[in-house]
């Protein structure tokens, strides 16, 4: 579906082509193929380490953006995102982030962390009361 729409805004005329989704879907696989070729240079055990292939991934995203724009489509768009998700599944499906399991500290440390501010507060109140009584005497 390729058409031309003319919009007028404050006397200025701007032409905007409608998104040619079929052209975009035809061109995106070339971006994926190029990324795949680049990823062959990276040891597959390092595919979860972004620093090993960040330049290749940047080229890949720029390629998908360029092809979407060439087809007069916004980027990202649902179709391009679906394609990118497919690439992610192909290369990064084994890269799961490990969940951090938070644990409470031992009771001794927890009690100490609670009692220290309580004791300091009591000490400060005592000091203020004592100082205020002393100023009354003077």
In angstroms, the first-to-last Cα distance of the chain is 92
Distance CA 31, CA 87 (A): 10
Q: Could you report the per-residue pLDDT of 102-131, keeping only the tens digit for each?
A: 788 888 888 999 999 999 999 999 999 988
How many Å apart are CA 58 and CA 21, to the nearest integer?
Answer: 23
For residues 90 and 29, give the distance between their C-alpha atoms in angstroms, rounded to a whole number. Answer: 13
C-alpha–C-alpha distance, residues 64 and 31, integer Å: 6
pLDDT of residue 14: 37
Q: Which residues of the chain, if any, have pLDDT below 50?
A: 1-15
Given the candidates 2.60.40.420, 1.10.150.510, 3.40.50.720, 2.40.110.10, the CATH classification of the domain at 21-93 is 1.10.150.510
């Amino acid at each position: 579906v390729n058409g031309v729409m003319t919009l007028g805004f404050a006397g200025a005329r701007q032409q905007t082509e409608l998104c040619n989704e079929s052209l975009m879907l035809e061109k995106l696989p070339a971006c994926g193929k190029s990324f795949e070729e680049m990823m062959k240079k990276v040891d597959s055990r390092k595919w979860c380490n972004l620093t090993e292939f960040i330049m290749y991934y940047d080229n890949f995203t720029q390629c998908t953006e360029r092809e979407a724009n060439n087809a007069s489509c916004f980027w990202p768009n649902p179709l391009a995102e679906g394609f990118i998700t497919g690439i992610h599944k192909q290369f990064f499906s084994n890269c799961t982030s490990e969940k951090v399991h938070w644990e409470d500290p031992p009771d001794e440390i927890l009690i100490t962390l609670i009692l220290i501010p309580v004791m300091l507060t009591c000490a400060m109140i005592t000091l203020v009361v004592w100082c205020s009584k002393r100023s009354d005497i003077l």
